[in-house]
Structure 1
Amino acid sequence: MSQSFLIKPEIASGTMIDNRYIIQQLLGHGGLGRTYLAFDTRRFNEACVLKEFAPTGSGENALEKCRNLFKREAKILHHLEHPQIPRFLACFEGDGRLFLVQEFVDGKTYSALLRERQNQGRAFSEGEVIQWLKNLLPVLEYVHQHNIIHRDISPDNIMLPEGKNLPVLIDFGVGKQIADLNEGSNAYHMTFVGKMSLVGKVGYAPREQISLGLCSPSSDLYALGVTAVVLLTGRDPSFLMDQYSLEWRWHFYTNVSNDFAQVLDKLLADTPKQRYQSSKQVLAELQRLGQPQVIPQSTILDLPTTVIANPSQAGARGYSHNQDPETIVSSPISSSQKQQTPEIKPQTQPQQSSLNPAFIQRCQQELAYYIGPIASLVVEETLAETPHVSPYQFVEFLAAEIADAAAAFEFRKRLFS
């Protein structure tokens, strides 16, 4: 085969390939080739996707690499049978070209869906993204159980089929089989891919994948986390990361619950060891979101606590910032003590704050980043004492609860940037 194999021109619409597939239009192209919409004349002109492998380059080494990638993807797709992954239909070589045939997904990518939201001045809500993650994580778990890492998760490679509500994971052209994933003794086992086969979209792929060619299931989870915050904020990853510290600053552009923010931050951890190691772990965390934390009765009886009938009335500033408000419980009171306990009259309803509820929630979330769960009590007490405080004064009161001056300055900046 000649070297011209690597530089074939784009296939024109109407061209019949392999005496079977009629090219309709070009769907996309990248470093490894082109993707076409085609009709299968042997299946009543059923729509399908024809993926041509034609990476740019020259020489026998490039040709052999192209063949190996082609065979690898065909083998990967052949073993994947999941309703949220396009079916593999065929593979062949013809006219000096390599082709894969896959099921056509009639729908929109999440990039397109996000653009539609942005045109309306909004992005995806917290509830929508949580459900989206719950729908996608089982697919990723299935892929990883088959010793495959997708390595190119982004809004462009996730689709929502027309008339359906389950997302579909597409484009396994950069999939990478990993050996003994479930049998290795190292919980953080990773596979070296090699610089010549580095793939993944900058901004979505983690540092170890882009810089070192290392990938693991946590690499896919990182990219899934990036995609989630992009859908939440409507902003490109380059806008969500500090260019100097390389720390994620997605919190600036959206308001989500503290618990969900912690899940996203762990997905986006820079070090693979600090991330979730499996999709099951993430799913378990998402299932617990919003569920009350119940302390067993036996644990309560063993706690040497002070009786506090209502923690919110105790005054947040009287507690240590490291104290967990969930451990503030009422200790058992004997019948004789109950008789001596004066009746507590109900307090009058506190005045309604003039501040925007969304702004209050964001202040609480940002304060919790610095002082922990006690932030909710601090916010509650501040609002009770000064219900008609201005936004600036409110932030100043909260900043005073942060011991470190630099951290207090950063807190103010994050709220008014």
Structure 2
Amino acid sequence: MQLYCTRPSCPRPVNQFDDLDNHSALKKAQQKYCTSCGMELFLSGRYLSERLLGQGGFGSAFLARDRYTPTLRHCVVKLFQPSSSLGPKQLQMAQMLFEREAEVLEQLGNQHPQIPNLYAFFPLVVPSLRSDQCEEYFYLVQEFIDGEDFGKILHRRGPLSEKAVRAVLVSMLQVLAFVHQHGTIHRDIKPSNIMKGRNNELYLLDFGAVKQVTVGPGSGQSTGIYTTGYAPPEQMSGGQVFPSTDLYALAVTCVVLLTNQPTAELFDSYTHTWRWQEQHQVSPGLAAVLNRMLQATPNSRYQSADEALAALTREAGKMSVPNPSFPAQISPSPAAAAPSPLASPSPTAPPAPSATLLPTSRLSSLPAFLGAAAFTGVEGGLLAIAIFSLLGTTLLGSGTWLGLMIILIILQLRRIIERLDLLVIAGISGAAVLLLPRLQQVILPVSGGQPMQTVLMLAILAGLSTVAIAVLFRLIFRLVSRLI
């Protein structure tokens, strides 16, 4: 059996013990020690770490087994080992948050099926490798959820459907309603902290940043622990946090799942508004609920998860909350399953190809879509005239024009050019072609002595042609989407 040493500074953490392959012998075996650093491998006498799951600023997480259960039940062992660069106050705060996570899991996990259970919380004192002194480590053991978090699902298969995101929203609102009713605010809702189990259930993970709300002035102050892009303004400024703080982060999570775009691409920092609907259209009811949850000020949002659930039900025109079961067809990849004790972690599968070329176009609203298409055609025509004239040949033909169109589309999709930029660029290039005779050479033979009018006519025809092609593409895309 392979055991993984949990000491952070261990030079060779992998240990092999053939005598532990027998389950009966494993349960009776005496303490084993790392052959490299001497660290105890039977944590608290029963938890056997198999491999490293991940590392963060406050420590590490390991996949482990409980040798005193009939099936050698899998569990997750979290080691509290913060960075040595932390000051005394920061270290004290970090340890407090680690202990608080254990308290919250003990309080909530055993009462709600979508929150991992706490199995153990204990310290371990061992001799140091570098001195005669001892080192103290703190461990938290919790339920292992066999599945895949939504950060990985998003990377593997791309944006989720409205039905799938609605299921996530309903399920997490129900969990948050329970969490908030017990005086706790999660404070770190994001795709990687929501897990889809292989049983098709959704789980809320990582309660390391939770805030237990107490009565008293200033008791709800934020500690500055959050994920940039998902945290609302009051949390980022270190102000008081509320249940609506979690609702904001959950709404951001939902629009990221819908669009598969980073938060920086969805949030307009100039106007301080979310522009996610330009990239993905959903039903008006769901959009209204998400937009209210995304309001900048806490009192403008729903004040509770129950209120948001009720609004979602009203907007959907139903008498009860929608079924929160997650679509079964979106299941964890085989690589996300728990490995055998001797297996190494599987690499993350590459993203699945999307069903369409532009499944979540930034130009999803009709006016913006047609305006961008017209700009692309006009600008492509003007650039083609200018380039053909400068090169003195039209042998490149439609291939060059098509290439220019593709470049313009990519620039718009990446928001390098947008809104007023389109008019400015078209105006400058149009003026250049109309005022510089050198750029009109390609159309002089057919202009009949009126190159300016011919340039304008060709540009307008190119724009109208592009709009027609774009509308046709949009209709085909809508038809195919309905069929599949």
Shorter-chain TM-score range: 0.5 to 0.7
Residue correspondence of structure 1 range 18-417 to structure 2 within 5 A: 18-44=44-70, 45-57=72-84, 60-80=88-108, 81-95=111-125, 96-118=136-158, 123-164=159-200, 166-180=201-215, 191-194=219-222, 197-291=223-317, 363=365, 391=370
- Provide Cα deviations, 1:51-73, integer angstroms capped at 9, x if missing partner: 11111135654554344233322
Whether the 8 Å contact between 1:33 and 1:52 is mirrored in structure 2 is yes
Post-superposition offset of 1:190: 7.8
Match of 2:442 in 1: none
The 1:227–1:292 alpha-carbon spacing in structure 2 relative to 1, beyond 3 Å, is closer
Post-superposition offset of 1:192: 3.5
Distance 1:393 1:27 in 2: 45
Match of 1:303 in 2: none
- Provide Cα deviations, 1:255-292, integer angstroms capped at 9, x if missing partner: 11222211111111111111111011111111123429
| Letter of the 2:101 counterpart | E
* Unmatched runs of 5 consecutive residues or more in structure 2: 1-6, 16-40, 126-135, 320-359, 376-418, 424-466, 471-484
For the residue of structure 2 that corresponds to 1:28, the secondary structure is strand
Whether the 8 Å contact between 2:214 and 2:220 is mirrored in structure 1 is no
| Letter of the 1:70 counterpart | F
Whether the 8 Å contact between 1:150 and 1:175 is mirrored in structure 2 is yes
Post-superposition offset of 1:113: 1.0
Distance 2:284 2:81 in 1: 46
Which of these two proteins has the greater Rg computed from alpha carbons? Answer: 2
| Letter of the 1:46 counterpart | R
Distance 2:305 2:121 in 1: 31
Whether the 8 Å contact between 1:34 and 1:54 is mirrored in structure 2 is yes
| Letter of the 1:288 counterpart | R
| Structure number with higher relative contact order (C-alpha < 8 Å, ≥ 6 residues apart) | 2
- Between stretches 252-261 and 69-78, larger displacement belongs to 69-78
Whether the 8 Å contact between 1:23 and 1:39 is mirrored in structure 2 is yes
The 1:124–1:190 alpha-carbon spacing in structure 2 relative to 1, beyond 3 Å, is farther
Post-superposition offset of 1:101: 0.7
For the residue of structure 2 that corresponds to 1:92, the secondary structure is strand
For the residue of structure 2 that corresponds to 1:137, the secondary structure is helix
Distance 2:42 2:155 in 1: 34
Identity of aligned residues (%): 38
Query: Matched residue pairs, number?
Result: 294
Post-superposition offset of 1:213: 4.0
Distance 2:280 2:91 in 1: 47
For the residue of structure 1 that corresponds to 2:45, the secondary structure is coil
Whether the 8 Å contact between 1:152 and 1:174 is mirrored in structure 2 is yes
Distance 2:190 2:232 in 1: 12
The 1:124–1:63 alpha-carbon spacing in structure 2 relative to 1, beyond 3 Å, is closer
| Letter of the 2:13 counterpart | A
| Letter of the 2:168 counterpart | W
| Letter of the 2:274 counterpart | W
Match of 1:16 in 2: 42
The 1:20–1:154 alpha-carbon spacing in structure 2 relative to 1, beyond 3 Å, is same
- Provide Cα deviations, 1:347-373, integer angstroms capped at 9, x if missing partner: xxxxxxxxxxx99x9647x79xxxxxx
Whether the 8 Å contact between 1:13 and 1:23 is mirrored in structure 2 is no
For the residue of structure 2 that corresponds to 1:79, the secondary structure is helix
The 1:237–1:392 alpha-carbon spacing in structure 2 relative to 1, beyond 3 Å, is closer
Whether the 8 Å contact between 1:54 and 1:66 is mirrored in structure 2 is no
Distance 2:213 2:372 in 1: 55
- Between stretches 106-115 and 13-22, larger displacement belongs to 13-22
Post-superposition offset of 1:83: 0.4
Distance 2:298 2:115 in 1: 26
- Provide Cα deviations, 1:289-318, integer angstroms capped at 9, x if missing partner: 34299xxxxxxxxxxxxxxxxxxxxxxxxx
Post-superposition offset of 1:97: 0.3
| Letter of the 1:112 counterpart | K
Distance 1:106 1:47 in 2: 9
| Letter of the 2:77 counterpart | L
| Letter of the 2:315 counterpart | L
Whether the 8 Å contact between 1:226 and 1:237 is mirrored in structure 2 is yes
| Letter of the 1:41 counterpart | R
Post-superposition offset of 1:8: 4.6
TM-score, length of structure 1 as denominator length: 0.63
The 1:64–1:242 alpha-carbon spacing in structure 2 relative to 1, beyond 3 Å, is closer
Which segments of structure 1 move beyond 6 Å, counting only runs of 4 or more? 393-396
- Between stretches 11-20 and 69-78, larger displacement belongs to 11-20
For the residue of structure 1 that corresponds to 2:268, the secondary structure is coil
Post-superposition offset of 1:250: 0.7
Whether the 8 Å contact between 2:213 and 2:220 is mirrored in structure 1 is no
For the residue of structure 2 that corresponds to 1:229, the secondary structure is helix
Whether the 8 Å contact between 1:191 and 1:216 is mirrored in structure 2 is no
Distance 2:263 2:251 in 1: 11
TM-score, length of structure 2 as denominator length: 0.55
Distance 2:240 2:167 in 1: 29
